[in-house]
Structure 1
């Protein structure tokens, strides 16, 4: 499967030219004409990297980047700025906002590809180190949460539910993931059950945290039980 990129730029000509060049280099590219549209697309897909213009109407690139960095789902997502604002102060502002690379227009497409590939390779290596150093502690923490969830399930009848049904907008897939989490299943087990990837399961669990205002699987299950959300 090719790497998924999100390109956000309000200039149609440049947007299509960059998209075509990236696709010719083997990337799968989704495009948005402004930051608001880009943010909506981020709710539907999880790209490996975002390329964004800075000077856009209504919501500019800095605000778009700030919105991403304030969301835990996108805090480590690589972001490249493509912009006509190439002064030193502009680049400093971009890096202070958390951008990973800053390419002034006009630019060499080959340089863009080189930077994209470099950031993607760094992310892969960083993820490998994280898994090597943190896998045991992560598994232990997850096992503890699963144990707590199973304990909650034994007390299910004693957990009082809200007198009125709690309304929350869950997609069918989010509901399926929530039901599986409430059964005490781990991400790999949920992925097998739903015939999807572990990464997608992690994405849905993260969305459930966001929608319910919870921070752990245990909190999520208790919330679901208290509000009658889990089947």
Structure 2
């Protein structure tokens, strides 16, 4: 599943340049010419990162971010501000509204691409940790209920993987290294290793061999096909 970026910029040349840079990096890109159009596309496509100019017609970047942060499901959505107006007061206003990075114009496209990758990694790790903690609390609530003894390799009917964990599990089953997985998914080897450790914890396995064997025996790989 391709990671998607919403680029909101009223200048056509800048919008095209950013979109092409991100497409070359393997991202799916949705573009908008103003904040109002971006808001509509946001709810339609559910992007992983929003890049927005500040000064735009109809709805500017400040109003767009304000609208985004009003929705609980979007409060962790990474937002990057782009603007030629780089005063301290404007940066403070942007951060108070909830933007994650304030990148002044002119900027290097390679720097923007690196920022996008960093924000996606951080966002996915936070979401994965939140889901894992929810699962831990759910298991703790059921711990008092006596259950029949079972083999640790038995089925995991309540086991839940995030989309990213499912992708990594599938690539692990193909024998790929952390570097190879990171290259395919636009993640650093360190981040891949964190996901692999999370999979060990969720499945009560000790190494990759056990994890892949469990995934095959319990048809866990069927979820990613």
With normalisation by structure 1, the TM-score equals 0.58
Q: How does 1:65-104 map to 2 (within 5 A)?
A: 65-104=65-104
Q: CA deviation at 1:139?
A: 7.7
Q: CA deviation at 1:67?
A: 0.2
Once the two structures are superposed, residues 198-222 of structure 1 have per-residue CA deviations (whole angstroms, 9 ceiling, x without a partner) of xxxxxxxxxxxxxxxxxxxxxxxxx
Q: Distance in 1 between matches of 2:116 and 2:77?
A: 12
Q: Distance in 1 between matches of 2:57 and 2:16?
A: 19
Q: Distance in 2 between matches of 1:6 and 1:92?
A: 23
The answer for the alignment partner of 2:8 in structure 1 is 8
The DSSP-based 3-state class of the residue aligned with 1:10 is coil
Once the two structures are superposed, residues 18-58 of structure 1 have per-residue CA deviations (whole angstroms, 9 ceiling, x without a partner) of 10111111111000111111111112111001000000112
Q: Distance in 2 between matches of 1:33 and 1:72?
A: 25
Q: Distance in 2 between matches of 1:138 and 1:55?
A: 45
The answer for the alignment partner of 2:218 in structure 1 is none
The answer for the alignment partner of 2:44 in structure 1 is 44
Once the two structures are superposed, residues 153-184 of structure 1 have per-residue CA deviations (whole angstroms, 9 ceiling, x without a partner) of xxxxxxxxxxxxxxxxxxxxxxxxxxxxxxxx
Q: Which residues of structure 2 form unaligned runs of 5+?
A: 142-157, 161-225
Q: Which residues of structure 1 form unaligned runs of 5+?
A: 142-185, 189-231
With normalisation by structure 2, the TM-score equals 0.60
Once the two structures are superposed, residues 81-128 of structure 1 have per-residue CA deviations (whole angstroms, 9 ceiling, x without a partner) of 111111222111111110000100000111101111111110121122
Count residues in correspondence: 143
Q: CA deviation at 1:132?
A: 2.1
